[in-house]
Amino acid sequence: MGRQESLEYKERLKEMTGVLKKHNITRGVSPEKLRLILEDLGPTFIKLGQIMSMHSDILPKRYCDELMRLRSEVAPMAFSEVEEVLQMAYGCPWNEIFKNIEKTPLGSASIAQVHKAVLKTGEEVVVKVQRSGIYDKMARDIGLLHRAVKLLPPVSLKDMIDLDMVLDELWAVTKEEMDFLTEAANLEEFARRNKEIAFVGVPKLYHEYTNHYVLVMEYIDGYAVDDKKNLLENGYDLEEIGIKMIDHYIKQVMDDGFFHADPHPGNVKIRDGKIIWIDMGMMGRLTERDRELIGNAVEGIAAGDIGKIQDVVMVLGDFKEAPDQSSLYEGISSLLSQYGSVDMGSIDIAKVTMSLMEVMKENKIIMPHGLTMLARGLTHMEGVLAQIAPELNMVEIAARHMAGKFLKEKDWKQELKNSGKTIYRSFHKAINIPSLISDILQGHLKGQTKVNLDLHVSLELERLLRRLVRNVVMGLWVMALLISSSIICTTNMKPKIWGIPAIGAFGYLIAFAIVMYVFLKHIFSKK
């Protein structure tokens, strides 16, 4: 590390210490105080907070809810800095490309800010400009945070959270967001996947003016999806918007495995009868296997099948040590008991998802980044739906898109609501032996028996291994005694017994005694 770099680190560390003193963290850190601290610490920590807001499997829900507010505006950079970035990106003054750029930004976030502009050709566009020097600043801050993690005492937050993992995730996500060519590629992929859907649109991308530091796309002058007043005044049906928006989001998740990870109202516009999705900087991806498992989890919730949900969690989850299966089972059982008599159409899927994440957190199971992003997205979707069409339910809309017709038909849902749930589960388990066994244990022996069974198997295995090792060792002893005694018997070593060396005879006797011991022990152990 050079002297200049070292001075920068020290100066930044001084700034961070000053912020912590300002907020008097020795008196505790409430959710609101944590958010304010992160805002004062700057872009790196704002982005860290945004990442952590998606980790309800790590942080308590009230902290995640507060940190989600970090998406709001941050202090904009001066227009002179914007001009410098544009000069660096294009290699020429901005007015050679744009007829006009509004100096007041439309929005300002931790990594970039957006300005409305007009091209020389007359098209109205938005120009997304990366903050000057943001890469170096964030790299420095993350370096400091990695050092700080190493200084934490052994018994601390590190026992609950892999902080290095969170920081690595932050840096990976941030580097991706800082490369506007990645966002441009996301925009194009999203447009390609949804080109056949008449009510969905995305901003036009201007390739020729887009690079790593600047993104230029069509200006969308529609209404925010939660702008009820203007939408109603212009003849829009809010219920129709809600149904189509949720239906399309489920399509993104379950059909494409490529979904908008930050669908807050500011990123969803309504224009000319279309839902326009903007800001593709944060996109989630799910493999076909992930989507299948999510479908299994939904089926498990619908059927009250604890074992099925547990299987999904165990496959998808990331954990350093094997979780307590009994504790996990009880946690899921307690969660499902809240919805045992509730019709699926009345379930708040975002709430269920967050509750499941809480269960996982208690059992030290961490979900992959794609699924935490999905949980955040579902929360946003549920919030938008509650504002514009509270009578609608995400589960009922999602049912039309789920593979199979498990949740689609009304009579089937009613059957699940009543005694048919038990019939379905019994039939399903009849063709699934492992799950049937799980249900038998659940019904008759409960969770404790599962623990006892595990212990029994463990002790049996331990005894078997001990016996095996003992017999192998004794066999080696017998072999060694027989070989060595035979060699001795070929010599004239004295004294002798029955014409052979006494030591050789003694070796044969010991070998015979060991064999008889093993034989008799085996016979009596069978009784």
pLDDT band of residue 273 (cuts 50, 70, 90) is: very high
- Judge if pTM exceeds 0.85: no
Ranges of each domain in the chain? 3-73+155-172, 285-431, 447-525
> Which residues, in sequence order, are CB contacts of 353 under 8 Å at separation 6+?
374, 375, 378, 379
Q: How far apart are CA 245 and CA 240, in angstroms?
A: 8
Handedness of CA 287, 292, 296, 302 (dihedral sign): positive
> Which residues, in sequence order, are CB contacts of 96 under 8 Å at separation 6+?
90
pLDDT digits (tens, 9 = 90+) for 448-480: 444 444 444 444 555 666 777 777 777 777 788
Tell the burial category of 404 from Cβ atoms under 10 Å away from its Cβ (0-12, 13-18, 19+). exposed
- Say if residue 402's pLDDT is above 80: no
pLDDT at 277: 97
- Say if residue 76's pLDDT is above 80: yes
pLDDT at 350: 64
In DSSP terms, 285 is beta-bridged to 258
> Three-state DSSP class for 271?
strand
pLDDT at 325: 78
Q: What percent of the chain has pLDDT over 90?
A: 27
Own/partner long-range contacts of 96-105 (Cβ < 8 Å, ≥24 apart):
97/209, 98/127, 101/127, 103/79, 105/76
pLDDT at 448: 41
Q: What share of the chain is helix, strand, coil (3-state, %, to 5)?
A: 65, 10, 25
pLDDT digits (tens, 9 = 90+) for 287-310: 888 888 887 877 777 677 788 888
Q: At what angle do helices 31-41 and 43-53 cross, to 10 degrees?
A: 140
- Say if residue 20's pLDDT is above 60: yes
Q: How far apart are CA 101 and CA 117, in angstroms?
A: 4
What distance separates the 2 farthest-apart alpha carbons in the chain?
119
Token representation of residue 405 = 């017709």
Q: How far apart are CA 302 and CA 36, in angstroms?
A: 40
pLDDT band of residue 56 (cuts 50, 70, 90) is: low
pLDDT at 270: 96
How crowded is the C-beta side of 467, counted as CA atoms within 13 Å? 11
Q: How far apart are CA 89 and CA 211, in angstroms?
A: 7
Handedness of CA 470, 471, 476, 479 (dihedral sign): positive
pLDDT at 433: 43
pLDDT digits (tens, 9 = 90+) for 177-188: 888 999 999 999
The residue written with tokens 């308590």 in the block is 60
pLDDT band of residue 200 (cuts 50, 70, 90) is: very high
Amino acid at 414: Q
- Say if residue 126's pLDDT is above 50: yes
pLDDT at 197: 94
Q: What is the mean pLDDT of residues 39-68?
A: 76
How crowded is the C-beta side of 349, counted as CA atoms within 13 Å? 27
* Separation in Å, CA 475 to CA 26, 470, 515, 518, 525: 65, 9, 8, 9, 19
pLDDT band of residue 192 (cuts 50, 70, 90) is: very high
pLDDT band of residue 71 (cuts 50, 70, 90) is: low
Nearest Cα to Cα of residue 191 among 283, 290, 289 = 283
DSSP 504-523: HHHHHHHHHHHHHHHHHHHH
Nearest Cα to Cα of residue 181 among 138, 204, 213 = 213
Angle formed at CA 423 by CA 417 and CA 427, multiple of 5 degrees = 135
The answer to whether the CB of 43 falls within 8 A of the CB of 132 is no
More confident residue, 345 or 351: 351
Nearest Cα to Cα of residue 354 among 124, 152, 64, 69 = 64
* CA distance from start to end of the chain: 73
> Three-state DSSP class for 195?
coil
pLDDT at 450: 42
Buried b (16+ CB within 10 A) or exposed e, 254-278: beebbbbbbbbeebbbbeeebbbbb
Q: How far apart are CA 299 and CA 416, in angstroms?
A: 11
Q: How far apart are CA 393 and CA 238, in angstroms?
A: 14
Token representation of residue 234 = 């212009």
